Amino acid sequence: MASFDPDRISLPGGHYIHGRLVRETGTLPVSRPSDGKVYAMLPSADAGYVDAAVDSARRAFGGSDWARRPPRDRARAMRRWADLIEADIDYLAALESLGSTRPIDQARAWDVPYTAEGIRFFAEFADKCGGEVAATAHDHLGMQIAEPLGVVGAIAPWNFPLSMTCWKVAPALAAGNTVVLKPSEMTPFSAVRLATLAVEAGIPPGVFNVIQGSGPVAGEALCRHPGVAKVTFTGSTGTGRAVMRACAETGPKPVTLELGGKSPQLVFADVPDLERTAQTLAAAITGNAGQVCVAGSRLLVERPLLEPLVERLRQRFATLEPGLTWHAGTRFSPLISDAQARRVETIVSRAREAGAELLTGGTRFDTESGGCFYRPTILQVGASDNPAVREEIFGPVLTIQAFDDEEEALGLAEHEIYGLAAGVHTADLGRALRAVRRLSAGTVWVNRYGRSRDYILPTGGYKRSGIGRDLGRAAYEANLHHKSVLIDLTP
């Protein structure tokens, strides 16, 4: 798709409850990250709207045939949904890039196709995980029967709105549940379009509902609603604690939480292709302007490579220029808001005051657009208690620490708070496997970094980086509970 005019895109504003768009007066301003313009006013769901959405989902769970539908038929409807998403790529990609940090080229090449294929992936589980027969006495029959939970409450973040919605909604629906989704109030519209397409595909009204609003009001009400059987959330560790607290106090009910990260990348001097490694490292911190939970934000480099690697990273960072997300060819994203830009600036300033050396970047781009674009930044750091090493920045800021041997590298990689992801770059397979065993991280990439379309691999965190897993069979099974059955066969 070529560049498009952001003022000509129609917006599916409102909540989506029981198969219809519910419009009301908007009270929350929604801004475009690329130019800072307020382009919509979003309605904010109070407890009454949340109750209506949950009631819709409960009625669909009990009254429609979705949970009782033959699993292959449920999968067939989800595949039709995925086909409609792909056919709607022009509109969905424009909605995604208009109000988020996702450039239009990337929304078309990655976000929309990834979402459609993710729905197909989870649809395939519908008739694959049905329980099991247990080993019991010969005159008994023991079974475990898998059943859907009921209404799943989902809260999606703003950094990848479409794909994160897929992570939350697709496994829940494939397992026979119904869903009430609250997208981020900063990126609210693509989720409504997904829900509309679901109904067009033959998924019954009420199976997938969307409520708009803020986290402290709509999100809190959703987590605390007694009709919600489970909550799945992606976002910050602090908000994840609030979600867990609300679910504990009103349930307890299970949660899946993908939370913050401060992911290390270990680069050893034997990497076979330094240029390729530098390209991988640069993409891991500049993709989506660093606004990625698994961003490779801590670079640990064997000392002989320090200077040549820094120089190659500088060269790559220098080629990145800010661009409007609705312009074809844009490669570098804006930060989501001025508040986020100020947060990045504050942490960088504190890091320098604590002794970090600024090697490149460290300021905003000077643009006329009105958007917040922060220069890719490298901070060379000595002590691991530096704020830039300890705190999740969620911006294009890379810290570098040098090490002299493998043991020192693994010690520096350990983080007392986070354990979401890590990268290892080496030609020594033994060293790579030793690192994989030692690293406290839910995902470890070797000689690469970042997600691919390997939906089968679950993702999640250690420590305060989360509970439970998205993606993979684990995500599907997390939307089921199991009933034990024992039958006496004695005449």
Q: Reduce the DSSP state of residue 357 to 3 states and report it.
A: strand
Clarify whether 293 is annotated catalytic.
yes
What is the residue-wise DSSP string for 58-91? HHHHHHSSTTTS-HHHHHHHHHHHHHHHHHTHHH
* pLDDT for residue 1 is more than 60: no
Burial class of residue 484, CB neighbours in 10 A (0-12, 13-18, 19+): exposed
Question: Which residues of 13-130 form beta strands (DSSP E)?
Answer: 15-17, 20-22, 28-31, 38-42
Is the Cβ–Cβ distance between 152 and 228 less than 8 Å?
yes
Give the pLDDT score at 491.
Answer: 87
Confidence tier at 131 by pLDDT (50, 70, 90): confident
DSSP collapsed to 3 states, 420-485: CEEEEECCCHHHHHHHHHHCCCCEEEECCCCCCCCCCCCECCEECCEECCECHHHHHHCCEEEEEE
Q: Which amino acid is at 325?
A: T
Other beta carbons within 10 angstroms of residue 117's beta carbon come to 15
CB 120 within 8 A of CB 76: no
Q: Which residues contact 473 (CB under 8 A, 6 or more apart)?
A: 125, 129, 456, 458
Q: Secondary structure of the chain: what % helix, strand, coil (to 5)?
A: 40, 20, 40
Cα 448–chain centre separation = 19
Catalytic residue among 293, 302, 391, 392: 293
Q: How far lies 48's CA from each of 4, 52, 224, 225, in Å? A: 38, 6, 13, 11
Residues 6+ apart with CB under 8 A from 125: 171, 174, 175, 473, 476
The one-letter amino acid at 327: H
Task: State the helix-helix crossing angle for 89-99 and 71-87, rounded to 10 degrees.
Answer: 70
Q: Give the position of tokens 């790579």.
A: 432
pLDDT band at 165 (very low <50, low <70, confident <90, very high): very high
Please enumerate in sequence order all residues whose Cβ is within 8 A of that of 104, keeping only pairs 6 or more positions apart, or say none.
1, 3, 4, 93, 94, 97, 325, 326, 327, 328, 330
Catalytic residue from among 258, 302, 391, 392: 258
Amino acid at 374: Y
pLDDT of 318-331, one tens digit each? Answer: 999 999 999 999 99
145 Cα distance to chain centroid: 31
pLDDT beyond 80 at 103: yes
**Spatial contact of 423 and 264, defined as CB atoms under 8 Å apart:** yes
* Rounded-to-integer distance, Cα 489 and Cα 491, Å: 6
- The 10 Å Cβ neighbour count of residue 293 is 25
Q: Nearest to residue 211, comparing CAs of 50, 101, 78?
A: 50
> For the segment 167-206, what is each residue's pLDDT rounded down to a tens digit?
999 999 999 999 999 999 999 999 999 999 999 999 999 9
Q: How far apart are CA 366 and CA 408, in angstroms?
A: 40
Percent of the chain predicted with pLDDT > 90:
97
pLDDT per residue over 349-392, tens digit each?
999 999 999 999 999 999 888 999 999 999 999 999 999 999 99
Listed in sequence order, the residues at least 6 apart from 160 whose beta carbon sits closer than 8 Å to its beta carbon are 102, 111, 288, 292
Q: Indicate whether 8 pLDDT > 80.
A: yes
The rounded distance, in Å, linking the Cα atoms of 114 and 162 is: 9
Kindly write down the DSSP assignment for every residue of 306-329, as one continuous string: HHHHHHHHHHHHHT--B--TTSTT
**Where does residue 20 fall: left (phi above 0), alpha (psi -120 to 50 degrees), or beta otherwise?**
beta
Element (H, E) at 183: none
Average pLDDT value for the chain = 97
pLDDT band at 130 (very low <50, low <70, confident <90, very high): confident
Residue in 236, 161, 214, 62 with CA at minimum distance from that of residue 222: 214
Exposure string for 400-428, b = 16+ CB within 10 A, e = fewer: bbbbeebeebbebbebeebbbbbbbbbee
What is the SS3 assignment for 338? helix
Q: What is the pTM of this model?
A: 0.96
pLDDT tens-digit map of 446-486: 999 999 999 999 999 999 999 999 999 999 999 999 999 99
- Quick check: bond before 252 cis, omega within 30? yes
Q: Which residue carries 């300021």 as its tokens?
A: 363
Q: How far apart are CA 480 and CA 230, in angstroms?
A: 10
Question: 41 in helix, strand or coil?
Answer: strand
